Amino acid sequence: MNSMKAALAIEDGTYVEGIAFGAEKTVEGELVFNTSMTGYVEALTDPSYAGQILMMTYPLIGNYGVCTEDFESDGVKVEGFVVKELCKHPSNWRSEMSVDELLKQYDVPGIEGVDTRALTKKTRIYGAMKAVLAVGDDLDKEKLLKRAVEQPSITEIDLVDKVCVKEPKKYEAEKPKFEVVLIDCGIKLSILRQLLKRGVNVTLVPYNYPANKILEMDPDGVFVSNGPGDPARVKETIETIAKLAGKLPMAGICLGHQLTALALGAKTFKLKFGHRGANQPVKDFETGRVFISSQNHGFAVDEKSLPRRLKVTQINLNDHTVEGMVHEDFPLITVQYHPEAGPGPHDTYFFFDRFVDMLKKF
């Protein structure tokens, strides 16, 4: 590890210096925090973090190293990484490399030795802000702060195109029972694993794949994945969902949940600092049960704007935002959290069973 300097400049004028790790470069992005105590590998490789600089609230990161089996995509998707203290010598029989080596491999910079607690509290008070993470010996405070302010907001950037498949791609289950088309807006591999495990063959298609081509494939159902950025910008997927809704069983996760709401006439809004972590409480109205969920999103569905037949089934107990929906007239279910976990608790795996039950019925 070198002891090269790194700096984090935030649009509100905050400027902190620390020790660099990972790649030697300067990046821009929205600074967001994740409250998970483990699962940094899954978080770093989650496509939903494209366009964002990820900060972990847990102070010790990298202790168990990096295992590529835990990847949620084909590589690191965050723009930059902010931690309190990075472990230089991981200890774990599964570990293949350190976090420093991982970030170097994927050309992503990191900074350690900063007060992540203070930065998290600031984010909670003022909301997620634009930031610049710079690594090098020549750090110009004023230039970096200016760059933080002048970069576009996450609501002005198209990110889905950067993280989805470009051509249809087929995944076969061991004992296939169903064929599903999965609209890829930046899918986590754990979603794929959960579907394959249940005997669902999956054909991944790009976010802008037209509805008529999906119908030509004659699938048993359609699934819409998670992904990065502002749902209102993903117009092609919204259009596709609007054309498919009611024609065959559908499900959506995270961004897929928001896009489905938009396709059916609802609105979405940007949360102050988002939900990112593996400890978010969700209440299910049907069972009365509260479960702990894994989440990663900065936007939410506006409950007041929901059309009459689209019913809220679950809410977040921290801020009462919409966490689950079902359509009363045709087979369609969505959730805002990540039922596949990766990382996080396995309380919500039942969402995939529910989707498979829908496929059986219809």
The DSSP symbol for 84 reads S
CATH assignment at residue 201: 3.40.50.880
Assess whether 283 and 178 both reside in one domain. yes
Assess whether 355 and 234 both reside in one domain. yes
pLDDT at 2: 56
Name the residues annotated as catalytic. 254, 338, 340
Give the tens place of pLDDT for each residue, 249-262: 999 999 999 999 99
Contact present, 188 and 352 (Cβ < 8 Å): no
Range of the domain at 289: 160-361
Q: How far apart are CA 288 and CA 314, in angstroms?
A: 9
Which of 121, 151, 181 terminates a domain? The answer is 151
Model confidence at 3: pLDDT above 90: no
Which of 133, 151, 169 terminates a domain? The answer is 151
CATH assignment at residue 48: 3.50.30.20
Assess whether 83 and 180 both reside in one domain. no
Q: Report the amino acid identity of residue 170.
A: K
Q: How far apart are CA 71 and CA 10, in angstroms?
A: 29
CB-count exposure of residue 232 (10 Å: 0-12, 13-18, 19+) = middle
- pLDDT mean over 35-44: 97
Contact present, 31 and 154 (Cβ < 8 Å): no
Assess whether 140 and 176 both reside in one domain. no
Assess whether 142 and 164 both reside in one domain. no
Phi, psi of 189 (to 5 degrees): -60, -25
Assess whether 241 and 270 both reside in one domain. yes
pTM of this prediction exceeds 0.85: yes
Give the tens place of pLDDT for each residue, 152-166: 999 999 999 999 999
Q: How far apart are CA 118 and CA 18, in angstroms?
A: 14
Assess whether 145 and 172 both reside in one domain. no
Q: How far apart are CA 116 and CA 110, in angstroms?
A: 13
Give the tens place of pLDDT for each residue, 273-301: 999 999 999 999 999 999 999 999 999 99
Assess whether 130 and 265 both reside in one domain. no
**Closest to 341 measured CA to CA, from 52, 141, 42:** 42
How many structural domains compose the chain? 2
Assess whether 168 and 30 both reside in one domain. no
Assess whether 128 and 277 both reside in one domain. no
Assess whether 72 and 195 both reside in one domain. no
Assess whether 186 and 329 both reside in one domain. yes
Which of 89, 121, 151 terminates a domain? The answer is 151
